[in-house]
Structure 1
């Protein structure tokens, strides 16, 4: 699977932040975008994830233009974003968060004609999550990145291919 960004320009209101950014990320590659505060790193992540509307350019997943696809539908193309808050329901247990994602992921995969991954398989991949299934998310340590693991495990249910982290 290849993710490509072609001549992407994006900003906030009428103020451009990114100017004609292009990059391609192929299977089994990890890419880091490095720069000073305000350089546009998070803006790029938001544009690729569909959280910001580009002024120009395209975002493609395996050659399919997903530029106009809403953020909540991009997971069907294998794109997920990890924002600082990680979008977990903090008052619920890790298991409850996973169950919600399991159900949503199965629905998304049916749309793509795929098969879902089972809870047991996800827990085998992430033993640290299995150890904390009955813990409320809000009680997990953020400093040790313990909140990141349930999010990553949760995203397995829709077979995400690209994780965009800001």
Structure 2
């Protein structure tokens, strides 16, 4: 569904990704774990068109989207919920969600039943239903994170990229975010998850990749990685699980 081959990316002269390859099969949750500075967010930005890869290919649902602009890749079916919860602060929660579906209104994505999906999003994120008329800028950080995720779902995408969905959240909200990811998985959504909580990410994922200094050091089924002594020592020790 989403395939990355030999991806290289840089910021100016600083090479961050050194030829990484990974696959996100349809209906699966794949997680990318690694320490800060390993290149996880750069990978997400290169996939979603926020930065242009230096070399390598990104294929989405059989279509080569390498080097395309973000809005073109979104129309091809990629929803990116970026780190830092970018929401439209001066618009209501409902309008933020409808904006997520914008390519469906313009028919550059299959339209489907937008009203039904809006209700579904409110069910999935009950906090958003309670605050649906509020301006997004008045929401707490946790609620803004829910909104960024819900907006990605509203595109009805082929693949959802979730970049650090638990970042900066209180533990109770981290648990809620992972419950929602689990429910999206049960709905058959295809997701690539970048996450600092490696234990929680591997618990929800089907497959995992470990990124070290811009290279994939190890990958395999998530349960195998959970039991890998090297992965446990580096990523599943103190402070990395909740």
Give the length in aligned residue pairs.
161
Aligned partner of residue 47 in structure 1, secondary structure: helix
| Partner in structure 1 of residue 104 of structure 2 | 106
Residue aligning to 2:130: 131
Residue 161 of structure 1, aligned match among 145, 158, 161: 158
**Residue range with higher mean Cα deviation, 88-97 or 36-45:** 88-97
Equivalent residues in 2 for 1:52-91 (5 A)?
52-91=51-90
Q: Which whole-Å deviations, capped at 9, do the CAs of 1:51-81 have from their partners, x for residues lacking one?
A: 1111110000122100022111211122122
Question: How many angstroms apart in 1 are the aligned matches of 2:84 and 2:32?
Answer: 20
Mapping of residues 143-158 of structure 1, within 5 Å: 145-158=142-155
Deviation at 1:113, TM superposition (A): 4.5
TM-score normalised to the size of structure 2? 0.60
Contact 1:116 1:158 in 2 (8 A): no
Shift, 1:114, TM fit: 4.1
Q: Which residue of 2 aligns with 1:19?
A: 18
Checking the alignment, whether the CA contact within 8 Å between 2:53 and 2:67 is kept in structure 1 is no
Cα distance between partner residues in 1 of 2:98 and 2:144: 16
Cα distance in structure 1, aligned partners of 2:151 and 2:109: 18
Q: Which runs of 4+ in 1 moved over 4 A?
A: none
Distance 1:99 1:115 in 2: 13
Q: 1:115 to 1:13 in 2, by over 3 A?
A: same
Change in CA separation of 1:20 and 1:161 when aligned onto 2, cut-off 3 Å: same
RMSD of the TM alignment (CA)?
Answer: 2.0
Deviation at 1:30, TM superposition (A): 1.7
TM-score scaled by structure 1? Answer: 0.85
Unaligned runs of 5+ in 1: none
Could you tell me which runs of 5 or more consecutive residues in structure 2 were left unpaired when the two chains were aligned.
165-242
